[in-house]
Amino acid sequence: MSNTILAADDSASIRQMIAFTLRRADYDVIEAENGMDALEKLGNADVLMVITDLDMPEMNGIELIKKIRIRAKYKSLPIVMLTTESAATVKQTAKAAGATGWITKPFTPAQLIGVVSKLLGNKT
């Protein structure tokens, strides 16, 4: 089974931090610059999880989640929203779109690994 996580964020430094943290935990990481890039890369890969920022150009995280969820293949794919937003209304919108989890920036590597481990369980 794939050990790959797709990380979508328009900030190169955030993508690098996510990738560095996950690679140290023995995951492969595919990086995407925005939602459109993520959708394209998702179609060409077998991934365990998607981690996405909320505010990105071309396609934001909510739109990305909705586009992923309409595909039957990804109905149960864990999707984590990683954002500076912490408002309950935004979290509810993300959850209604199909987000599985939420991490507020700034985050620690331990927080990221904790959420990934919790959502993936024994899938790795």
Average pLDDT value for residue range 23-34: 96
Q: Which pLDDT value is given to residue 122? A: 56
HSE-up of residue 102 (Cα within 13 Å, Cβ side): 20
| Lowest model confidence (mean pLDDT) among 63-72, 92-101, 113-122 | 113-122
Domains: count for the chain: 1
Share of the chain above pLDDT 90, in %: 87
Domain that holds residue 39: 4-120
Q: Which pLDDT value is given to residue 8? A: 98
Start-to-end C-alpha separation, the chain: 7
